[in-house]
Structure 1
Amino acid sequence: MMKITEVAKKLGTTQRTIRFYEEKGLIAPKKASNGYRIYTEEEVGDLRTILALREVGLSTKEIKKALDHNDDFTNYLHNQRSWLYEEMLQIRDTVATVERMIEVSRREEEEESMMDMARELKALKEKRTNWRDRWNFDEQAEDYDDNIKTTGYRFNVHEHYNEALSKAHAWVEASAEERGVDIGAGTGNLTGLFLQQGIPMVAVDQSKEMLKVCAEKHPQTDTRLGHFLSLPLNDKEADFIVSSYALHHLTDEDKELALAEMDRTLGDNGRVVIADLMFRDDSHRKSVLESYQESGNEEAVEAIEDEYYADRSRLIRWWEEHGYKVEAHPFNSILHLLYAEKVERRIPNE
């Protein structure tokens, strides 16, 4: 048992801070007969945790909820990390805009140019922070692997699924000293192929439930809550990046922002491999849709129009304009593999 003065000294904080957390209901020490608060070892431990979590930005409301429900703080820390990376990127975007504004401030018509830049910044902030999952992958997580059927449907997006993942894994040509990132990792099916080689992997997904299943299947995985437009990764943290069946949830415009985020987090001599639903170009998209319409396959038409199958030519053009070499491999009319590498690396053989 300890008095408040002893607790404050032990934890390197103030009595006022401890009383504040009492007022917020985070701790409730009993009072001795003399009226002094008495703190048990368990309460001192809770205070130590509270102080640590407050230091990294968790709110007293979040901490109280976790303590009241005896929750694991890991989920709260995952949320906080994701939010902090978003904040970091927003600060960078804002600094870059300020730099551009300084450049144009000496020119004529600077007011109009600066306003345009402000609008661009606002739009970028909204993209990074407001992306939402329309398909509710949290609810799909538990049965996701069981529902991946490679045959038996009139329109089957998972045809060649296993082949695509195997080829994506092979094309990376990962070595033991490298570290990879799987974006939109889901339950970790592609991640697992690299883990079998002993290669450390970061699995990024916006679905907490998908990440939970991934962690259960592959406990050695570093799971991180996040999404394509705001990756919870430092600059040049990844030696290679992979993604399967995820990029088509973004609009074409947002896909280019996603590629820029991959470029930011990819190290020198790095590479990206994406297996996803896409068409060669807009003409190919129209041709495939017309074919399904003519055959009366409304299921296919609805599925394609519900999501954002990529224009492969647009992705390739972005990479080439940013110093990458690109290789493409089609599995069928809607599933393609793309390999992009910074120019120093070799394009893999078929």
Structure 2
Amino acid sequence: MGREFLDIFEGWAEEYDNTVSGYDPEYKEVFHAYDDILVEVAKNSEGNILEFGVGTGNLTEKLLERGHDIIGIEPSPAMKAIANAKLPEALVMDGDFLEYPIPTIPIHTIVSTYAFHHLTDDEKDNAVKKFADILEVNGKVVFADTMFETLEAKEKKTSEAEEIGFTNLAADLRREYYPTMETIEGIFTKHNFTVSFKQMNEFVWLIIAKKE
């Protein structure tokens, strides 16, 4: 359920904000237009929000600026500590996409950035099933995450990373569970969502899935 990667995030927490700002050349394209991606997710969010993978609170901050009530879920204590220090007014609780406190307020939008790929396809399916149960009528899921149009496109990006010596990025692309768009669309459609995609950079797509 993504917690197998927890040690990576515990070690990455202090440098995470530097990485997303383009400091690390290996991940510069992955996080290209990072702020615009967060704004796009926030712009498409409505009402009370459940956010998964809060990290250091960057998306949370955008949502708070728009006046949303937010319940944040984050499994990494180090990441959560940074988010709490940055945004003491935010409610950030321990949990992950599959195990988390059930919200006590109506949820109109579920959001996440750069996190859903930590789940296997079966775990993604289980998570989306729970989303459908939690969301209010006409609620939606708004995610931005790395995914690929085809498996061939994923392999091409991985090979390109290896060829230019981006060994960490290549290992990341092979290690984690980056999906194809067809897989994501199939999972959401199975649980009665309609799905749209918008490409945000070479790696990241915006997903908007509306509950039918």
Compute the TM-score of the two structures, normalised by the length of structure 1: 0.55
Instruction: Give per-residue Cα distances to partners, 1:48-68, cap 9 Å, x unaligned.
Output: xxxxxxxxxxxxxxxxxxxxx
Aligned partner of 1:138 in structure 2 is 10
Matched, 1:165 2:38: yes
SS at match of 2:22: coil
SS at match of 2:44: helix
Counterpart amino acid of residue 324 in structure 1: F
SS at match of 1:264: helix
Q: For 1:185 and 1:296, how far apart are their aligned partners in 2?
A: 30
Matched, 1:153 2:59: no
Offset at residue 165 of structure 1 (A): 0.8
Question: Pairwise mapping of residues 1-350 of structure 1 onto structure 2 (< 5 A)?
Answer: 131-150=3-22, 153-156=25-28, 157-172=30-45, 174=46, 178-234=47-103, 237-293=106-162, 297-343=166-212
Count of equivalent residues: 211
SS at match of 1:308: coil
Moved more, 239-248 or 276-285: 276-285
Are 1:235 and 1:266, in contact at CA under 8 Å, matched by a contact in 2? no
Are 2:124 and 2:187, in contact at CA under 8 Å, matched by a contact in 1? no
Q: For 2:26 and 2:187, how far apart are their aligned partners in 1?
A: 34
Q: For 1:195 and 1:330, how far apart are their aligned partners in 2?
A: 25
SS at match of 2:187: helix
Offset at residue 283 of structure 1 (A): 3.0
User: Bigger relative contact order, structure 1 or 2, given CA contacts below 8 A and separation 6+?
Assistant: 2
SS at match of 2:169: helix
Are 1:228 and 1:261, in contact at CA under 8 Å, matched by a contact in 2? no
Q: For 2:86 and 2:27, how far apart are their aligned partners in 1?
A: 29
Instruction: Give per-residue Cα distances to partners, 1:233-257, cap 9 Å, x unaligned.
Output: 2488411010001112222222222
- Structure number with the higher helix fraction is 1
Counterpart amino acid of residue 316 in structure 1: E
Are 1:184 and 1:243, in contact at CA under 8 Å, matched by a contact in 2? yes
Counterpart amino acid of residue 31 in structure 2: H
SS at match of 1:219: coil
Compute the TM-score of the two structures, normalised by the length of structure 2: 0.87
Say what the alpha-carbon RMSD is for the aligned residues: 2.4
Structure 2: state its 5+ residue gaps: none
Moved more, 143-152 or 263-272: 143-152
Counterpart amino acid of residue 335 in structure 1: V
Are 1:215 and 1:223, in contact at CA under 8 Å, matched by a contact in 2? yes
Offset at residue 227 of structure 1 (A): 0.4
Offset at residue 155 of structure 1 (A): 4.4
Counterpart amino acid of residue 16 in structure 2: Y
Percent identity, aligned pairs only, is 27
SS at match of 2:89: coil
Counterpart amino acid of residue 144 in structure 1: Y
Bigger radius of gyration among the two: 1
Offset at residue 297 of structure 1 (A): 4.7
